[in-house]
Structure 1
Amino acid sequence: MDKQVDMRRVQELVADLRDPRPGIFYTDLLLSAGLGWACFAGAMQPGPAWVRGLAFVAAVLLLYRSLAFIHEIFHQQGMNGFRRTWHALSGVPLLIPFLLYLPIHQGHHNKQVYGTAGDGEYDQFHGRAGAAIAKLFVLNVFLPLALWVRFALLTPLAAVLPPIREKMIPEFVHMALRMPFRAPAIKESARAEAMRIEWWCCAWAWALVAVGVFAGWAWVGAWALLVIAIATLNTIRALGGTHLYVEAAEGRDARGQLLDSLNVDSNGLVAVLLCPVGLRFHALHHVAPYLPYHAMPTAHRRLMAQLPAGSEYHQVTVKSLGEGIARLREATRAVSPPAETA
């Protein structure tokens, strides 16, 4: 039986699922962010340490879920009101606005760019998976400070010093896995909104200083720990549920991206919490990137049931994040370095 995936058949099977349902988006975001910030505030109140600790863990998980909508915002860019709401509840308060993600992700699905040195969401783990993974976790520790510097200092300086806007900002802080990496410019149509959000982030960064001075630096420290914890969860997800990180000299088409990606076919608590908002189905996403997150479980079940048993789609599906990490280690240990180009 042919194991190769028929991409046209895949498109046919999920064609009716492509329309986003705004009610689901808003309800999910409002509950996740609202409860998340309430738990964060609760964790800062006097009381038993175990109660405060549980509240903080809940805040991390809920706000991680709300922040994960940044991926949906890219692929559902017609939902302008939702993007503004997301910025108010998650992007600005966490200092991780859409403008840090937009220029990185816009090349990731391009078949000429995917998996090459020009793909900011990719990196070469060949022969150095352990060191590359360790670097990601170390960078997470410094993320809150880097975000504060990016918006509190670089945003106003960039307004008067063009070299900061043209060179330092594209290279300093963005949501690229590959470091160092120069982010491409944000498209002209999105620049005005991005600039407004950037100044809101600048205002919030300085508001954090005011909070520290007048309410206590424990609040700022807790905010920084929150950002580090969210980034750490996302790193674990990226290692076990996205790609195999075998860089190539040339990009890959949709089928090539499928074979380099993973689905985590698990309803277990760990997978659901660490891969929120459709992120359990990353291989599916690279086959049908237009699908909204709420449609992805249905789409995945259809493909698993109706594609030939043992197909390539079945082969890129794992049962846990642990199995996904094992796949990554195996792939990066066996691969040869990418061929040099002239």
Structure 2
Amino acid sequence: MSENTVIQSVLLDDENSTLVILDQTLLPNEKLFLRLTSQNQIWEAIYSLRVRGAPAIGIAAGFGAYLGTKESKAETYEALYEDFKKVKEYLASSRPTAVNLFWALDRMETRFKKEEGKTVEEVKKALKEEAENIRKEDETICKTIGENSLSLLKDGMGILTHCNAGTIATAKYGTALAPIYLGKERGINFKVYADETRPLLQGARLTAWELNEAGVDVTLICDNMASIVMKEGKINAVLVGCDRVALNGDTANKIGTSGVAILAKHYGIPFYVHAPLSTIDLKCSTGNDIHIELRPDEEITTKWYEKPMAPEGVKTYNPCFDVTDNSLITAIITEKGIAYPPYNESLPKLFK
């Protein structure tokens, strides 16, 4: 993948106190970078999925926490900390399921506390450094996840992916798409089938777009076509990302992921979850403990249509995520290695 195909979707323009993000809600028709200067704008961007993907959300949260604190007029460490906590609490309310959001904000708070006794300007400088570290580390993490995943794949394989876990969802490379990009750099080519991923069409609008931009062999399919392409022998592995991993290996990912996992199990196809350690929540025992965010009705009934495609006033149920049972997951691929069942034993070992 050439450098000009690698899009950085979250950047800091510190000189202008601005968070620059690629507005993913406008893709594939328009590539627009937004310049966000207020906490309300950053909160809305995370909530409305203008910035999305677990790692990218964490990066945006880190920069958002820094910029919000940078605006503070506090003159003492203690007063600045009170302002920081308000910023953290506000940003944390934007996406209740995304563990990277809380992970990044907690990390920023930890760094803040380490600077106790220093001047206000020194603390602000430290927060900027920490936010930049989150971004740089994510780029390294994604590449390592890609290396580990690539070790399980072979040239020419058919790959099915759901939602978007690519370069625009991270600092660079992506998680589930990292082996695709690394493989292309090395002359290893895959045939990728991208689920459209209703109702927000992240597969159609984002995954198909970025892979096509990078010159990857990608075919777009509707979500309900996954079974037939598996049955026809076109799929050799399923690669997905995730937003949260429980201690027992249950994983929360974009709605529809669990259905793909059930199909893969039926057809004997390996199902690989790509998860940075920051998405693994050892305090969360099982998937039953993961809060599932409900999204607005219009995402199903009107969002993509010139005219409503459902009866006016009809009840809707629009969960943003579902939980894939650990029994359906072949392996969980992280930057620290590949975890296999039983996950309640293998996942904690990754942290040692």
Q: Give the alignment's TM-score, normalised by structure 1.
A: 0.27
Which of structures 1 and 2 has the larger relative contact order (alpha carbons within 8 angstroms, sep 6+)? 1
More strand by share: 2
Q: Give the alignment's TM-score, normalised by structure 2.
A: 0.26
More helix by share: 1
